[in-house]
Structure 1
């Protein structure tokens, strides 16, 4: 892949937060739609002001040392090697962290970090997906003068074309019959899901209203064909809950400049308890009936009717904006030629997401999948260094997921093992002789997706 093409794709996958409305070019239909949603989310929701003014952004704009929380189940291996490796996932190739705020000699955790440490990691252990108890680490990052002081994050839902381009570079690691079988599998998934994709175009582009609950249940069924829809569903639902909850916990979080992350986390693990420690949003496909029942017990301030209408409109938009090309908006899908290269002008981002997902279990590729993500991480690190981004964050929503760019040339960090106090704060217990290295760890060895039979090799 030539540099300008790679650079463009990575620039398009990032969100640059800046004052004022989203820039929209003449005739840019989808950008205008997205800008209208930005306005709606900011002005017409109880917690919309947190989209631009929050503690995460304050941290990124600071010129000081930035304290972060990282939770690990592999402390012994990290100490033995003296190295902390980044992981893939929503932060592509960085060390997954959450913000900390200094409170005297201790640190107050962001509510996302407190959930990961005190709830999610415990659930993972109970599920048998962790051999060692979770340990909190305090990573203090000293931002050099060269660091970008703006607010920019990566939106993993925009990585579809990047996944497709990387596969095209590496596809000959598969045998000829494997390549054909993979393409046939992907084509079959798209073909079976095309009626639902057409419904998304009808709802978003043609603005034809349909029953929102029927739409969401249809989406839930279609996750079996298009696993990426589970990710979109989860992110859109999390977005709604963070923006609209007016419960006591949400109010407390807002007072600290944070969205309430406990609500969607609790919903996720109450609905899919086995996902703790084996995080797989391709299995996230709740029905509207199940969703309503769970939300009634978790947060009665949520109006299910309003939520269903919001989610149907939002997900139709995200499908069109993140998975389809504009050519698909006016195409007659019943006349498409079902060949891989013929579909690219219409659904290239979707093809990339499907390939990225399929390779985890396809033929000999599970052994190679790590290198696919490593190749992607190299491109991300190259872009981040070009932009002087030290601390990338998950920009689907500024919920508190922040990473450390392990390849930044002037990176200076200190790492401490921490202890949880009775007051719920963290205090540094001992400084560790540990550095952060730009080498990706296999996702199977991380807290989110650990398997007991692989933890002994974890870093």
Structure 2
């Protein structure tokens, strides 16, 4: 495995030349920290050994290693307050001890929803529940993208490098898909053009990584 410090230089040089910041480095960090991340990028399974993770971070930026744990604690608490709690909720006044469903609905609706969603994803009934929950929400999001003419949707909370193409926003726009290989510098080089036509519909559950995993568990 090539040292992460070498990848850091590659990413920095690429950003300086092209003016584009690539997130390949921190994805490689996740892949190196937990082996299964390279097969299915599932944050719920990201539980690396502390010392191993600090070692990898030291390879990327030695000055970060000593304070990274404290930084992550501060950052996670901030993100938790922003994303999980109701906008009007004072984070310092929140306690989850003895909370019932109705209380969580009021003080932390997003956390409650995410908790239920995670339980659903790990359930053996996920293929049946998919259409009721996840697909219906995806259709709402897709409708929003189309209404506001957003051509390249992406996940702004956790930018994992996946940028979609919305054919409903600009139906006359062209897009091409290529198979690519990485060179020793970590750059992508197209090798084969795929004859792919984008259509304005959601991907079938059987064709997604999570769907394949869910259906495999049920066999």
**Does 1:361 pair with 2:122?**
yes
- Secondary structure in structure 2 of the residue aligned to 1:410: coil
State the distance in 1 between where 2:139 and 2:81 align.
28
Match of 1:312 in 2: 73
Q: CA deviation at 1:378?
A: 1.2
Aligned partners of 1:419 and 1:429 also within 8 Å: no
Q: CA deviation at 1:418?
A: 4.5
Match of 2:145 in 1: 384
Aligned partners of 1:279 and 1:449 also within 8 Å: no
The 3 A distance-change label for structure 1 pair 439 and 263 is closer
Give the number of aligned pairs: 207
**Does 1:266 pair with 2:10?**
no
Please identify, of 386-395 and 250-259, the stretch whose mean Cα deviation from structure 2 is larger: 250-259
State the distance in 1 between where 2:14 and 2:54 align.
24
Show the 5 A alignment for 1:9-158. none
Match of 1:440 in 2: 203
Structure whose alpha-carbon radius of gyration is higher: 1
Cα-to-partner distance string for 1:162-183 (whole Å, 9 max, x where unaligned): xxxxxxxxxxxxxxxxxxxxxx
State the distance in 2 between where 1:257 and 1:361 align.
40
Aligned partners of 2:124 and 2:214 also within 8 Å: no
Aligned partners of 1:406 and 1:438 also within 8 Å: no
| TM-score between the two structures when normalised by the length of structure 2 | 0.74
Aligned counterpart in structure 1 of residue 189 of structure 2, from 397, 414, 425: 425
The 3 A distance-change label for structure 1 pair 427 and 250 is closer
- Secondary structure in structure 2 of the residue aligned to 1:426: strand
Aligned partners of 2:85 and 2:110 also within 8 Å: yes
Q: CA deviation at 1:451?
A: 4.5
Q: CA deviation at 1:382?
A: 1.5
Show the 5 A alignment for 1:180-329. 247-255=8-16, 256-296=18-58, 298-325=59-86, 326-327=88-89, 329=91
Aligned partners of 1:392 and 1:402 also within 8 Å: yes
Structure 1 unaligned regions, length at least 5: 1-240, 455-459
- Secondary structure in structure 1 of the residue aligned to 2:44: helix
Higher strand proportion (structure 1 or 2): 1
State the distance in 2 between where 1:421 and 1:346 align.
47
The 3 A distance-change label for structure 1 pair 365 and 302 is same
Aligned partners of 1:384 and 1:390 also within 8 Å: yes
Aligned counterpart in structure 2 of residue 340 of structure 1, from 79, 82, 101: 101
State the distance in 1 between where 2:80 and 2:214 align.
35
The 3 A distance-change label for structure 1 pair 424 and 418 is same
Aligned partners of 1:324 and 1:346 also within 8 Å: yes
Structure 2 unaligned regions, length at least 5: none
More contact order relative to length (CA 8 Å, sep ≥ 6): 1
Cα-to-partner distance string for 1:349-370 (whole Å, 9 max, x where unaligned): 1001111111123363442224
Q: CA deviation at 1:299?
A: 1.9
Alignment RMSD (CA, Å): 3.5
The 3 A distance-change label for structure 1 pair 439 and 379 is same
Aligned partners of 2:176 and 2:193 also within 8 Å: no
Aligned partners of 2:180 and 2:188 also within 8 Å: no
Q: CA deviation at 1:377?
A: 1.6
State the distance in 1 between where 2:132 and 2:9 align.
45
